[in-house]
Amino acid sequence: MSDTVELRIFMLKDVLVVGGRAREHALQWKLSGDTEVGRVYCAPGNGGTQHNVPISETDIEGLARFAKENNLFTVVGPELPIAMGIANHFWAEGLGICAPTREAARLETSKAWCKEFLAGRGIPTPQFKVFDDPEMAKEHVRSVDYKVVVKADGLCEGKGVIVCDSAAEAEEAIERLMVRREFGDAGAKVVIEKRLYGEERSFMAISDGTRIEAFASSRDYKKLQDNDEGPNTGGMGAYSPAPAGPETERQMYDIAWKIVTGMRDEGFPFVGFIYVGFMIVGGKPQVLEINSRLGDPETETLVRRMDSPLFPYIEAAAHSSLDETVRRRGAIRWKNWSAVTVVLASKGYPDRDYARGEAVTFRPMDGMAYIFHAGTKKVGGGIVTDGGRNFAVTALGRDLEYAAYNAYEAVESIRYPSKILRRDIARNVTPAEALQSKA
C-alpha cells in the first residue's frame, strides 16, 4: 500500500501598490514577503521600491488599464487617488482593490463633514465651529476663552492643521488658509476647534464595511523639531507599541467601530484602511482626525512588527469576508518586539524650498534596521533626494529604548548635505509605556 500525495498548485496573486512614499515602500516590502503573493508592482514608486511603473498615482485610468492588463489586485497608499474615486472606478471596471470609495473618504477629504458626522453620532471630538468667511472666523477666535486649532477643510498632505498659542496666531492661521490660500481651495473653509492637551495615539485598522481588524498600537510625531516644536509635517517619526491602557484601548476600538457602522448607516460602507487620530485626555479618547488610509510613518513601524501575512486580510476586506478570514486564520499577530521609525527629511521641509538631486551615500548596518525610501529616485546607479521627506529608518528592539538606539545608529549610515531629523523619537515616552514595551 503506498501513500498518495495530493499536489495542489496555488496561483500567486500579483499586486499593484499605488503611491511613491515610504508608506508604499513598506507595503510593498511586507506584501512581497507574503507566501500567497507573487510580484508586487509600485506606481510610481521611488528610488527604493522594486518593479516601478511610470504611472502617476492620480492617473486613475492608466492605473486601471495596467491592473487589468496584468490581472492585478490593487492596494492604495496615499489619500489623493482615494479622494479622486479610484475605488469607484476600479470596482466599476471589475477590478479588485482595497481602498474606500470617494463617498466614504469624506471622513478625510472634508474635515467639516467629518466633524458634523462625529457630532451627529455622539462620538467624542473637540468642540468646534466651521467657517467659510475669514472675518467671521477671526471674530470667533477673538471671542473664545481657550486656545484653538485651525484646520483647512480639504486635503493638505498633513500640513493644513495649525496649532495656535494665541488669538493673534489663530488670526494669522486663518489669513494663511482662507485669504492667502497657501493650500489652495483646501483652505476655502476651515474648522476651528478647541485645543486639547493630553497624549496622542494613532489607531489603525482594516475594515470590510461590517467589521474591523485592529492593528497594533502606535504613536507618531507630527512636529518638525524636537520637543514637539516647529510646524506640522506629514510625520517625523513613530513607535509601536504605544499602549494607552486596556480600558482606553477598548474605547478607541469601540469609537472606530462606531465610525465604520455609522458610515454603513449613511449608505457608504467603509472598505479599506482606516486611521483614527486620538487625543487621550484623562484616560478618555477624543477624535482629532480620521484618515481613509494608513498613516505614514506608522505603517513603516507596524509592518516590521507584523507577524502575519497582510494580503489575506486586505483581500478579505475588499470582498467583505473579514469575519471568515479571522475565523480561519486568527487575528493579525504581532512580534513581541518594539519598533521605532525615524524620518530623514531635507532642510526646508515642510515648505517646498528644499534641495532636490542631492547624492545619498550609505554604509552597511545591521539587520535590526531597514531603510524605507520616500522622496528619492535612482540616477546613474545611485540614489538622489527627490522630495521633502526622504527616508524612514525603522528598527526593532526588545523594548523601545533598544529599538530607538538601533534606529539612530542606522540613521548615521545615511548621508546627504541637507539631512535633517528629530533626535527625540521614542525617547520621551511615559514610564508606563516604556515598561509595557518591555513586556
User: What's the pLDDT tens digit per position in 110-167?
Assistant: 999 999 999 999 999 999 999 999 999 999 999 999 999 999 999 987 778 999 999 9
- The radius of gyration of the chain's CA atoms, rounded to the nearest angstrom, is 21
Rounded CA-CA distance 419/359 in Å is 11
Candidates 429, 21, 384, 434; CA nearest to 199 is 429
Q: What angle do CA 112, 116, 122 make, to 5 degrees?
A: 145
At 433, the pLDDT band (50, 70, 90 cuts) reads low
User: How many CB atoms within 10 Å of residue 361?
Assistant: 10
User: Could you tell me which CATH number the domain at 338-434 has?
Assistant: 3.90.600.10
339's grid cell: 519598533
pLDDT (mean) for 230-245:
93
Report the pLDDT value the prediction gives residue 9, as an integer from 0 to 100: 44
Rounded CA-CA distance 103/88 in Å is 9
Question: Under DSSP, is residue 142 helix (H, G, I), strand (E, B) or coil?
Answer: helix
Rounded CA-CA distance 271/4 in Å is 43
Q: Average per-residue pLDDT in the chain?
A: 94
Contact between 159 and 232 under an 8 Å Cβ cutoff? The reply is yes
pLDDT per position as a tens digit, 25-51? 999 999 999 999 999 999 999 999 999
DSSP readout, 63-118?
Answer: HHHHHHHTT-EEEE-SHHHHHTTHHHHHHHTT--EES--TTTTHHHH-HHHHHHHH
pLDDT per position as a tens digit, 259-284? 999 999 999 999 999 999 999 999 99
Report the pLDDT value the prediction gives residue 6, as an integer from 0 to 100: 39
Candidates 345, 393, 342, 398; CA nearest to 369 is 393
Rounded CA-CA distance 57/341 in Å is 25
Question: Under DSSP, is residue 30 helix (H, G, I), strand (E, B) or coil?
Answer: helix
pTM of the predicted structure, to 2 decimals: 0.93
At 432, the pLDDT band (50, 70, 90 cuts) reads low
Domain boundaries, the chain: 13-99, 127-194, 199-329, 338-434
Question: Has domain 13-99 been given CATH number 3.40.50.20?
Answer: yes
- Name the CATH superfamily, with its identifier, for domain 127-194: ATP-grasp fold, A domain (3.30.1490.20)
At position 4, the amino acid (one-letter code) is: T
Report the pLDDT value the prediction gives residue 378, as an integer from 0 to 100: 97
Task: In the chain, count H helices and then E strands.
Answer: 14, 24
Longest Cα separation, the chain: 90
User: Could you tell me which CATH number the domain at 199-329 has?
Assistant: 3.30.470.20
Burial (CB count within 10 angstroms: exposed 0-12, middle 13-18, buried 19+), residue 287: buried
Report the pLDDT value the prediction gives residue 184, as an integer from 0 to 100: 93
Candidates 80, 62, 66, 73; CA nearest to 19 is 80
Instruction: Indicate the length of the chain as a whole number.
Output: 439
DSSP readout, 237-254?
Answer: EEEE-----HHHHHHHHH
At 438, the pLDDT band (50, 70, 90 cuts) reads low
Per the listing, cell 501598490 goes with 17
pLDDT per position as a tens digit, 95-110? 999 999 999 999 999 9
Report the pLDDT value the prediction gives residue 435, as an integer from 0 to 100: 47
Per the listing, cell 486601471 goes with 64
Per the listing, cell 540616477 goes with 379
Adjacent-strand bridge partners of 229: 225
Rounded CA-CA distance 24/48 in Å is 10
pLDDT per position as a tens digit, 342-374? 999 999 999 888 999 999 999 988 789 999 999
Candidates 436, 29, 433, 5; CA nearest to 219 is 433
Contact between 52 and 45 under an 8 Å Cβ cutoff? The reply is yes
pLDDT (mean) for 414-420:
98
pLDDT per position as a tens digit, 292-342? 999 999 999 999 999 999 999 999 999 999 999 999 999 999 999 999 999
Report the pLDDT value the prediction gives residue 364, as an integer from 0 to 100: 86
> How many CA atoms lie less than 13 Å away from 438 in the CB half-sphere?
8
pLDDT per position as a tens digit, 68-98? 999 999 999 999 999 999 999 999 999 999 9
Rounded CA-CA distance 284/126 in Å is 12
What backbone phi and psi angles, to 5 degrees, belong to 201?
Answer: -140, 150
Report the pLDDT value the prediction gives residue 5, as an integer from 0 to 100: 39
Cβ-proximal residues to 11 (8 Å cutoff; 6+ apart), any chain: none
Rounded CA-CA distance 135/143 in Å is 12
Report the pLDDT value the prediction gives residue 7, as an integer from 0 to 100: 37
Report the pLDDT value the prediction gives residue 10, as an integer from 0 to 100: 56
Report the pLDDT value the prediction gives residue 119, as an integer from 0 to 100: 97
Rounded CA-CA distance 96/94 in Å is 7
Q: What angle do CA 77, 368, 347 make, to 5 degrees?
A: 55
Rounded CA-CA distance 227/223 in Å is 8
Cβ-proximal residues to 249 (8 Å cutoff; 6+ apart), any chain: 217, 243
Rounded CA-CA distance 34/374 in Å is 22
